[in-house]
Amino acid sequence: MADKTPDFETLQIHAGARPDPATGARQVPIYQTTSYVFRDADHAAALFNLQEVGYIYSRLTNPTVAALQERMAALEGGAGAVCCSSGHGAQIMALFPLMGPGLNIVSSNRLYGGTVTQFSQTIKRFGWSARFVDTDDLDAVEAAIDENTRAIFCESIANPGGYITDLDALAAIADRNGIPLIVDNTTATPYLCRPIEHGATLVVHSLTKYLTGNGTVTGGVIVDSGTFNWSNGKFPAMSEPEPAYHGLKFHETFGPLAFTFNSIAIGLRDLGMTLNPQAAHYTLLGIETLSLRMDKHCANAVKVAEWLERDPRVAYVTYAGLPSSPYHHRMAQICPKGASSLFTFSLKAGYEACVKLIDSVNLLSHVANLGDTRSLIIHSASTTHRQLTEEQQIAAGAAPDVVRLSIGLENADDIIADLDQALTAAGA
């Protein structure tokens, strides 16, 4: 038993956390500092030359943030991790070392609306582009890849519809083409799904959601599997000499940690998408109860989804935890512990009934977030996916007659009672 690898429930509490060497404090302290005193001039030079690992300036590295990075790498089974200021920041940080003008990514069309906008509009300013495809159509994914493609991007459990992605199939395509698979694992969390075990190269999260779990933090993280060959000729930022570090080659020098070091030494240095230490502390506290919360989230979601599916006012429910879902069969392969608690349902009465429903809830909170302890509700077509065309909304699972739920930790019967009275009000 002495050599036993700690289980998830142990890692979510202990990974990255050690008694503070100065005080013996058991909980990870909040190191609220911008800078760190160097031992001497040689020590400072070694840190700035990436010849020694340590703390320089909190835009790059901070002990509280480092503890969170170590915990996330452990929970996802990665070699390293880099935290940043938001989930959107994590997506740009993940792409930054891979991309350049004229290059593209192939992306799932079932994504959070803000990500669709980021990929379809904002990244054009860098000279990058995205090709959106239905990732259930593997031939379409393969056909969209060309000599300028540098990544495939998807969500493990897609927001808002809760669709489960066949990560193994996408990883096989990415591997054949010598490009990384990047998976947003926000909705699933590493408790329900570990994309690296299915062949993902990089995993991104919005720390804002289930990982912190209580709506107090905005943050993001990228976890690097440490297994990708960055020296295959497609990724010069990783394999070629870096002028800012006197010709250092990241992959040759840092091996499995090449992406992690590059994202800190260049990404955080120049993009400045830094996670503050207090936010990291809150997230560390949240992660300590992640498995307990996700079990409850999933159990509540199943009960609410089953009730909605039986309700005559509801056209359909998209929850993958229901046997009727076309994605239910993927649970055993991708997320055997549960399908999370994010899903949508369609009202037979259409758009206006959706709006009335939103305005009639009492217990549920009408907010643009998910993964909270509280149950949340939103009409995606008029909010999070508002910038998209109706065709894009439908493809993303956010049609005008659809409402998105993020089921919280309240008593499931109370959630159902609130939805029931709101549905009645919507039909009045």
CATH number, domain with residue 140? 3.40.640.10
Per the structure, how many domains does the chain have?
2
Q: What percent of the chain has pLDDT over 90?
A: 90
Same domain, residue pair 239 and 303 = no
Nearest to 164 by CA among 385, 303, 368, 319: 319
With cut-offs at 50, 70 and 90, classify the pLDDT of residue 1: very low
With cut-offs at 50, 70 and 90, classify the pLDDT of residue 387: confident
Torsions phi, psi for 237 (to 5 deg): -60, -25
pLDDT in the model for residue 86: 97
Average predicted confidence (pLDDT) for the chain? 95
What type of residue is 164? I
Peptide bond into 160 cis (omega under 30): yes
pLDDT digits (tens, 9 = 90+) for 189-217: 999 999 999 999 999 999 999 999 999 99
Same domain, residue pair 305 and 383 = yes
pLDDT in the model for residue 390: 78
pLDDT in the model for residue 2: 62
Same domain, residue pair 266 and 331 = no
With cut-offs at 50, 70 and 90, classify the pLDDT of residue 380: confident
d(CA 136, CA 317) in angstroms, rounded, equals 19
pLDDT digits (tens, 9 = 90+) for 363-378: 999 999 999 999 999 9
Give strand ranges (E) for 59-117. Answer: 80-84, 104-108
In a domain, 381, yes or no: yes
Same domain, residue pair 260 and 189 = yes
DSSP per-residue string spanning 252-299:
HHHGGGHHHHHIIIIIIHHH--PPPHHHHHHHHHHHTTHHHHHHHHHH
d(CA 369, CA 359) in angstroms, rounded, equals 17
Same domain, residue pair 266 and 303 = no
In a domain, 423, yes or no: yes
Range of the domain at 158: 19-286
d(CA 75, CA 71) in angstroms, rounded, equals 6
Same domain, residue pair 314 and 261 = no
Q: What percent of the chain has pLDDT over 70?
A: 100
pLDDT in the model for residue 402: 92
Same domain, residue pair 218 and 328 = no
Q: Please state the rounded mean pLDDT for residues 58-77.
A: 97
d(CA 212, CA 288) in angstroms, rounded, equals 9
Is the pLDDT at 423 greater than 50? The verdict is yes
With cut-offs at 50, 70 and 90, classify the pLDDT of residue 399: confident
Is the pLDDT at 5 greater than 90? The verdict is no
pTM to 2 decimal places:
0.95
Same domain, residue pair 74 and 154 = yes
pLDDT digits (tens, 9 = 90+) for 287-330: 999 999 999 999 999 999 999 999 999 999 999 999 999 999 99
pLDDT digits (tens, 9 = 90+) for 25-43: 999 999 999 999 999 999 9
Buried b (16+ CB within 10 A) or exposed e, 225-258: bbebebbeebbebbbeebeebeebbbbeebeebb
Same domain, residue pair 332 and 309 = yes
Same domain, residue pair 50 and 177 = yes
